[in-house]
Structure formats: C-alpha cells, structure tokens
Structure 1
Amino acid sequence: MANPIQYEYKPEYLTVSVPSKYKAENLRTEEMVLNMGPQHPSTHGVLRLEVLTDGEMVLDVVPHLGYLHRCFEKHAESLPFNQVIPYVDRLDYLGAMNCEHAYVMGVERMLGIENEIPKRIEYIRVLVAELNRLASHFVAIGTYAMDIGAYTPFLWMMRDREQILRLLEWVCGARMLYNYIWIGGLFYDLPVGFEEQCLEFVKYLKPKLQELQELVVENKIFIQRTANVGILPLPVAINYGCSGPMLRGSGLRYDLRRVDGYSVYPELDFEVPIGEGKMGTTGDCWDRTWVRVVECRESVKMIEQCLARLTSDHKRTRDFDPQAVVPKKIRPKAMDFYVRGETPKGELGFYFRTDGRSDVPVRCRARSCSFSNLSVIGEISRGMLLADLVAIIGSIDIVMGEVDR
C-alpha cells in the first residue's frame, strides 16, 4: 500500500493567513522583568540582578545587594585596631593581603610610625600583596572564561593559583584569610627557603602567562563575545567612582601604587596598563580583561624585584623583630583620617574617626571599589543582549563580601 502522506502532501496546505492586527507593523513590544542568573559565581545567591528586557534586548539592570552583609564597620567599631585585621580579610576575600596592607598602612600613619617600618617588612608586604593580586586576577580571568563557555582556562588558572596559595599558606598558615600583615610589622618573617621557592614559581609562571594570553584574550571566540560589549566611557567611569581595571580599561592610567606611591612601590619598576581599544572600543569587556592579564605580568616583575632586594640589601637577620615599632596600646590622637590602597579590584579606602582616649575607633568606614564598579552595570548594559549581560557581569570582577561590607 502506498504511503498516503507521500501522495497527499501539498506545500500550499501549510500556508496560514495572518489577521491584519497581528502583522509586523502592528506588533507592539512587551517588556518583561526577569531575575538574571545564576551564571557568575556572585549570582549564586549573593547578588540578584533585576533585568528589564524587551525580548532578548536589555533595557535596564538593577543590582539588589545585601545578601552577604559582613557588618564589617560595626565590628571594627567594637574592637581594638589590631583585632580588626581578620575582619578586613573578609572584605575582598580573594585579595585579603591587599586589604590588610591598606588597613594597616592607615593605622600606622595615624600613629605616625609609617617611616619607622623596616625596609624588609615593607618588601615582604609588597611581595605577598602582589602574589595575592596574581591569585585574584587568576580567579577573575578563569571564571570569566567559564562564564562565556570556555572551561579549560578556568582549570589552568586554578592550577597556577594553587601554587600561589601554597606559598601564602607556607608564610602564614592560611590559604585565603591570612591575618599576616599586622600593625607595625608582620605576623612573622618569611620561612627559610621561601625566597628560592617563590623565584622558582615565577620562572615557571612567565611562559604560562603567555599561554593564557593566547588561549583566552587572543582567542577569536573570546574576542567576538567581549569586543564592543559593555563599553564604559571614561567620563561615566569617573562619575561613578570606578577604579582599578574598570577605570584603567577605559583608558585612564590611574593606579594608586603610582599616584600615592605608598610603601616601597616608588622603588619598583612597573608599568600601568590601560585599555586602548585594540579589538573593539576602548572601555569594553575585552579591554578590562586585557588590563588584568598585563597586570599579572607587571606583578611578576615586582615580585622578582622584591625577591632580589630581600636576598641582597635586606637579608634575614637573627635580631629581626616583625613587630618592632608597634606600641603596646594602639591609641591614635583624636582625628579624622582616610587612607587608600590599590587592591586587585581598585581603590579600597578606610575612614577612621578617633577620640584620642580609646584604642577602639569611634567610626570606621570602608570605601569598597567593587560597590562603585557594580553600580555602573546599568549604564553599560542598556541596549545589549541578554547573552552580553553575562559577559558584562564577569568583566566587572565583583566580590560581594566587599560590596556588602
């Protein structure tokens, strides 16, 4: 028996007449409010993005915060200055050494002992801070590639970051929340043999950074997903208070390690990379990632210089005291004071108000860079596609512990 479908099929049967009210010129757009995520690690419960869409087009984005509130400022106002450092670690928990460095530097300046800190301590602080900057950028780049759909770069970044965490664990006993940089000094000197092990790691890492550049930022698919996406014009970045790779990606060569010249950074040779629109428009997602990759190379250069000075001009001595200049009672004069430092995310600042009588601050406030950087997401996402919004979130490199403080 012949197949009836074979003989009865006629294409004209599929023609459908569309009523005039449904024709294209009469269709109206319909806006929807969606809860975006989870795609990025920060959208798994600690950040809610309320997205106003028109089909696949993003009309507006509103970030809802407060799901990871640390109560840092109130903790700091109920404890002596030296007992606040573990809470500082929990702000940007991926760059805890850099947060400690900024906080401790502020207290030391209030006490007037910043010039009494031995050079060896200063070089060790910069050494561990730049190691932590590398580890933070590895998470930023690796998870960003995974957000877009590439899993291999994430595994490679975690492989190399693991070696950094082992070095930092060797120094202070912790892999993430260190409590190592103390007011007036350090928890302890570097372990014996640390300088040699760290130098071996640096030699290993240099070619890996070139592989990272070729695998990720120069990858054709990565360029197509990030170039001309999430463009942040420089005036908008300045008006929103953006800092770090977000600001430098928009073309402004502004780095507090150069601008303020704190610690021993003025003695080190390093460049401040900026976005130049090589693959698209200056200030897009690709430029922000490019800045982070180049900053990894510059951190390696600074680590090498610190190791050279620690093994030549500022060697280990038996009479070295990591807490040589800190007073037993940390009691600054009555004042209002603000200090800032360059973390992997940008400018982290601490505001102190003291009364001159107590070793507990009357007021302590943290100025988090991730809060300002996240605030601009609505400006750079309008008119983008939903798939582009995933790329924009990852390019900001937010840590919600710092946003919610």
Structure 2
Amino acid sequence: MIKNQNFADGRELSVINFGPTHPSTHGVFQNILLLDGDIILDADTTVGYIHRAFEKIAEHRTFYQINTLTDRLNYCSSPLNNMCWWMTVEKALNVEVPKKAQYMRVIIMELARIADHIICNGILGVDMGAYTGFLYVMEFRELIYEIYEEVCGARLTTNIGRIGGFERDFSEACYQKIEKFLEGFPKAWGELENLCVRNRIFMDRTIGVGVIDAEKAMNYGFTGPNLRATGIDYDVRVASPYSSYEDFDFDIPVGQSGDTYDRWCVRAGEVKEGVRIIRQAFDKLKGMKKDPYHADVPEYYLPPKEEVYTQMEALINHFKIVMGEYPVPVSEVYHSVEAANGELGMYLITDGSRAPYRLHFRRPCFIFYQAFPELVKGSSISDAVITLSSLNVIAGELDA
C-alpha cells in the first residue's frame, strides 16, 4: 500500500492519484504515484473502473451478436477487433474466405491501424503541448471514418463484416474515397513526421523516457509497436499470416532503445507501411470487381436485405442465423491478428450450442499496462504522462 511518509529532516513523500478521471490517462484507470517532489518513487496501477464482463456476456450471446462486443474493445480501431472475431469463428467452421474478401479485409484492417496510430502519435504531441499536428492529421482519420460509413454505415463501433466476408461489396464511392485517402494522406503524414522526428523539443521530451529493454518487454508479454520499439521484429502478420498478408510486400519498422521516441517512430513507420499495403490490396481489387465478396456458407452468412424484405425463406434463414439456430460445431480454436496495439487473440471453445462455451480475449493493452510502474519509476510526473501516451493504453481494451 502506497501512503504518505514524513522524514526527520523535514522531507515529505506525497501520494497523488493520476486518474481515473485525469485527462492525460486517456481512459478510466488509476495510477497511485508516490512522489518525492516531482520524482516518482513508486506507482500502483488500478483497473476495473469500466469492467463490462464481455467474456461472460459472450457465453449468453449467439456468434453474430458477439461482434458488437468486440467493437468496444479498442474503439479507436474497431474493425480490427471485428475481423479477428470473424476469422476466429471461420476457423472453427473451416470456412474458406474468397481472395477478394480477404483483400477487402486487409484494406479495412490497415485503415483501422492507421486511424489508431493517428490518435496515438497525435495525442502524444498534445500531451506535450503540440496541438496543431494532431488537428492536421485528424482530417484523414475523418476520411477513414467516411470509408467505414460507405462499407457498413457506421463510424466508431463499426460491427463490420460477416462470417465468410462482408455484408456488401465496396461501392464506387468507397473506391473513390480510398483513392482520395491514398493520394492525400502520405504527404500530410510526412509533414507530421518532419514536425516531430528531428524537433529538438520533441526529442528532449521523449528520448530516454519510459525505457524498457527487449528482455523485460518479452517477459511482460509485450507485442506490437511497444515490443518492436525494443528491436524485436515480431509481427503476427508475418509470423502467422492471415487474410492473405503473405501476398503483400511490406517491412516491419523496429526501434532500438524501447523508449517513448522509438515507440512514436515505430508507429509512424507502420502508418507508411500500412499505406503501402493498402495500395497493393487496392490495385489487386480493381481486377476482381466481379469476384464474390463472401464465402458460400448459407447456414452462417446472412442473406441479402432485399431478399429478407421480400422472401419468407430468406427472412426465416436470417432469423435462424441471428438467433443461433445453426450452431457452431464442437471446437477449440485460437486466432490472433496484429492489432494496432499488438497481438489481439481470441480463444474460443464451443460445445455445439448456439453460444460459446468459453471465449477469452487476449487484449494487448491489459498485458503491457502492467509494466507502467516500472517504466515511470525515477521519472517526473510530466514524463509519466507521455510514457503512458506512448504505450497507447486504451481503456476499453485494457478493461474488457
């Protein structure tokens, strides 16, 4: 238990609450800091303020109804959670997804990764007082949300995709918005990088701050940009390819020192690689416009809305799928994707009923947040703010 301490020489150690409602905590979680003046001597993290029992709720929901729960994990990149869930169910069902649908998923997942990194890197600047760069690139996050709208009608909690693929094909307006994004975003992102990467103030505030070495990062179970910033090039898209990522040419940005600066730079590099992947997938899609965008699995794929509205058989089938009348066979599977914060995994056990027997989410935020006390010991309060920001702890993913 961290508590106030007084010493004979008049020196006094104090305790402050950094969160759960502090704007710099980026969510509802608490850090109790023991301070000697402005220097952090110890820290104690607390989670559970928005615990929503998603895993237990999932045991009482059908497989289609669970997708809306995944939206609320990392809500800065909801489609990545959605795709991970659909691929987990498809693994249990042994569903083969058409190439076109896989490439469509790649585009959506990389857009989600970019949107997430825009938030993380932009907010890191805001936490140091640099607001302009964040506002500048937010224009393109808005464009990504407009692409989501064209695909599924939603922006933040997307509920995007279906078992076997997508509800509908990309529209011409969607293709145009993707093209617009690919044309305008790289220049804007390059300007943000130029604003920060060699900026003396930015470097002084981030280099050597919140350092973790590769061995400790591995021991904690780090994945994603926070692990790659230490020099380890582990990426699920390469180590265990899914959705045809093996068809694309891209690099894995890595750092060296595992500090706040390297974490920012790794995410900046991933944004550029994400644009590169989207361009490759987009070019492939142009020659596949007449190909199927979902698998031929009528027992699990929702029928088209126009048929549901006009045909009794389609309406009945729609009802049976949503209410879980076509159960998933007995299985035990684990599937993971390279989400914005690292390896997002879903461990699914089914018993042949309409709902999972057990479902566990491997949330990367929950794993690397446990290292926060070690990262901030000996640093100042202002350093703790930007260290937390560079980790990109999302409360919804931390506290499922």
Q: Same fold (TM over 0.5)?
A: yes
Q: Which residue number in structure 1 is paired with residue 17 of structure 2?
A: 35
Runs of 4+ in 1 over 6 A off after TM superposition: none
Please give the per-residue CA displacement for 1:261-301, whole angstroms capped at 9, x wherever unaligned: 1111000011000113xxxxx10000000000000000000
The residue aligned with 1:125 is: 105
Distance 2:298 2:382 in 1: 52
The residue number in structure 2 matching 1:4 is: none
Query: Are 2:207 and 1:227 aligned?
Result: yes
The equivalent of 1:335 in structure 2 is: 331
Which residue does the alignment assign to 1:64? 46
Superposed counterparts of 1:71-150, under 5 Å: 71-113=53-95, 116-150=96-130
Q: CA RMSD in A?
A: 1.7
1:102, 1:348 within 8 Å by CA — same for their partners in 2?
yes
Among residues 348, 363, 376, which one is paired with 1:368 in the alignment?
A: 363
User: What is the one-letter code of the residue matched to 1:397?
Assistant: N
Q: Which residue of 2 aligns with 1:249?
A: 229
Report the TM-score when normalising by structure 2. 0.88
Equivalent position amino acid for 2:278 in 1 = I
Task: Report the Cα distance in structure 2 between the residues aligned to 1:321 and 1:384, rounded to whole angstroms.
Answer: 51
Conservation of the 8 A alpha-carbon contact between 2:35 and 2:42: yes
What is the SS of the residue equivalent to 1:339?
strand
* Residue of structure 1 in register with 2:346 after alignment: 350
- Secondary structure of the residue that 1:297 maps to in structure 2? helix
Question: Bigger CA drift: 258-267 or 184-193?
Answer: 184-193
Alignment-derived partner of residue 299 in structure 1: 274
The DSSP-based 3-state class of the residue aligned with 2:64 is helix
Decide which of 134, 140, 144 is 1:164's aligned counterpart.
144
In structure 2, the residue matched to 1:262 is 242
Distance 1:370 1:340 in 2: 15
Question: Over residues 54-94 of structure 1, what are the superposed CA-to-partner deviations in whole Å (9 max), with x where a residue is unaligned?
Answer: 11111122121111222211221101111110111111111
Task: Give a deviation string over 1:28-57, Cα, whole Å, max 9, x none.
Answer: 6432211015242525xx111111111111
1:382 and 2:377 correspond:
yes
Say which of 132, 142, 149 aligns to 1:152.
132
**Cα pair 2:97 2:294 within 8 Å, conserved:** no
Alpha carbons 2:97, 2:295 under 8 Å: kept: no
User: Which residue number in structure 1 is paired with residue 283 of structure 2?
Assistant: 308
Distance 1:326 1:227 in 2: 54
Aligned partner of 1:216: which letter?
A: C
> Could you tell me which amino acid in structure 1 is paired with residue 208 of structure 2?
N
2:330 and 2:350 in contact (8 A); partners too = yes
User: How far does residue 242 in structure 1 lie from its aligned partner after superposition?
Assistant: 1.1
Q: Aligned pair 1:49/2:20, yes or no?
A: no
Distance in 1, Cα, partners of 2:372 & 2:326: 40
* Counterpart residue type for residue 343 of structure 1: A
Give the count of matched residue pairs: 368
Matched to 2:290, the amino acid is R
CA distance in 1, matches of 2:293, 2:277: 24
Q: Tell me the residue number matched to 2:313.
A: none
Output the amino acid matched with 1:56.
D
Note if contact 1:81-1:330 (Cα within 8 Å) is conserved in structure 2: no
> What is residue 197 of structure 2 aligned with on the other side?
217
Amino acid in structure 1 at the alignment position of 2:289: K
For 1:285, give the aligned amino acid: T
Q: Partners of 2:197 and 2:70 in 1: how far apart?
A: 32
CA distance in 1, matches of 2:39, 2:50: 29
Query: How far did 1:239 drift?
Result: 0.8
Where in structure 2 are there 5+ consecutive unaligned residues?
A: 1-7, 301-324
Counterpart residue identity of residue 234, structure 2: Y
Q: Helix, strand or coil for the counterpart of 1:237?
A: helix
Please list every run of 5 or more consecutive structure 1 residues that lacks an aligned counterpart in the other structure.
1-25, 277-281
Greater C-alpha Rg:
1
